[in-house]
C-alpha cells in the first residue's frame, strides 16, 4: 500500500505545522468526508485527563472522565453535522488486546454514539498489505489532502507527510474506505468484545 505514496510529492511538516494545516482544512472537508486509519496499538495522549487516569491505574476514574466528556462531544459532532460531512475511522486491532486499545475503544464507543462512524478490523485482515511494513497512520480530508501521520517510538505525535495531488488523495481515501467496509461496526463489536472485560493491565497494576 505504501507504494501509493512513492513519487507523490509529499511534504514533511513538523507537529505544529501539521496541526495548523489540518485545522485550516478540516472545516471545509465537504461531502467526501474525513477518513482515518489507526494502525499503531498505543499512542501517547499527552494531558488528556482520561488517558492520564488510565496511565496511573485508575480505571474507574478514566471511564468516569470519558462520560463527563459527553457534552463536549455532543457539541463537537453537532458542529460537524451542521458543516455537512461525516467522520469515519478504521481501528486495526491486534490480539492479544493491548491495554491502550481497550481504553481507546471505550472513548470511540462514546464518540460513535454522537456521529463518528467507527469500524474495527482484526490485524490479520490487513496482513496482505503489510509485506513491506505496517500500514501507515492516515488521515484523509475530503478531496483536499491526505496525511501520513508520524509518531516517535513512544507514540508521541511527530508531524506528518502531507500529500495534495488529487489522484493520491482519491486513492488513499478509496483504500481507507475499503478497509472500513471490511471491518465490523463498533456498535456491534464493542458490547461483544470490550464491554465485559476486566480493567486492562495498565489500570490494574
pLDDT per residue as tens digits for the range 55-109: 999 999 999 999 999 999 999 999 999 999 999 999 999 999 999 999 999 999 9
* More confident of the two residues 4 and 5: 5
Whole-model pTM above 0.85?
yes
Q: Do residues 34 and 93 lie in contact, with contact meaning Cβ atoms separated by under 8 Å? A: no
Domains of the chain by residue range: 2-204
pLDDT at residue 201, rounded to an integer = 80
User: Taking a C-beta distance cutoff of 8 angstroms, is the pair 68, 61 a contact?
Assistant: no
- Structural Rg of the chain based on CA atoms: 17
Helix axes 99-113, 70-83, angle to 10 degrees: 60
CA 89 → CA 6, 8, 12, 145, 160, distances in Å? Answer: 24, 24, 23, 16, 18
Rounded distance between C-alpha atoms, residue 125 and residue 198, angstroms? 26
- Domain 2-204: state its class: alpha beta
Q: Is the pLDDT of residue 204 over 70?
A: no
Residue 3: pLDDT band (50, 70, 90) is confident
Q: What is the pLDDT of residues 133-183, one digit of tens each?
A: 999 999 999 999 999 999 999 999 999 999 999 999 999 999 999 999 999
Work out the pLDDT band at 115, boundaries 50, 70, 90: very high
Amino acid at each position: 500500500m505504501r507504494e501509493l505514496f512513492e513519487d507523490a510529492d509529499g511534504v514533511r511538516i513538523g507537529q505544529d505545522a501539521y496541526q495548523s494545516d489540518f485545522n485550516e482544512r478540516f472545516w471545509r472537508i465537504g461531502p467526501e468526508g474525513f477518513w482515518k486509519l489507526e494502525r499503531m496499538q498505543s499512542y501517547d495522549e499527552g494531558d488528556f485527563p482520561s488517558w492520564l487516569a488510565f496511565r496511573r491505574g485508575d480505571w474507574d476514574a478514566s471511564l468516569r472522565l470519558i462520560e463527563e466528556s459527553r457534552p463536549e462531544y455532543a457539541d463537537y459532532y453537532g458542529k460537524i453535522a451542521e458543516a455537512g460531512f461525516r467522520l469515519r475511522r478504521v481501528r486495526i486491532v491486534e490480539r492479544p488486546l493491548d491495554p491502550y486499545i481497550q481504553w481507546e475503544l471505550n472513548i470511540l464507543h462514546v464518540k460513535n454514539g454522537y456521529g463518528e462512524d467507527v469500524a474495527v478490523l482484526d490485524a490479520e485482515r490487513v496482513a496482505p498489505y503489510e509485506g513491506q511494513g505496517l500500514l501507515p497512520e492516515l488521515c484523509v480530508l475530503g478531496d483536499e489532502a491526505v496525511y501520513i501521520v508520524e509518531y516517535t517510538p513512544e507514540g508521541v505525535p511527530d508531524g506528518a507527510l502531507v500529500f495534495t495531488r488529487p489522484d493520491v488523495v482519491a486513492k488513499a481515501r478509496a483504500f481507507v474506505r475499503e478497509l472500513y467496509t471490511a471491518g465490523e461496526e463498533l456498535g456491534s463489536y464493542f458490547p461483544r468484545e470490550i464491554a465485559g472485560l476486566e480493567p486492562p493491565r495498565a489500570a490494574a497494576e
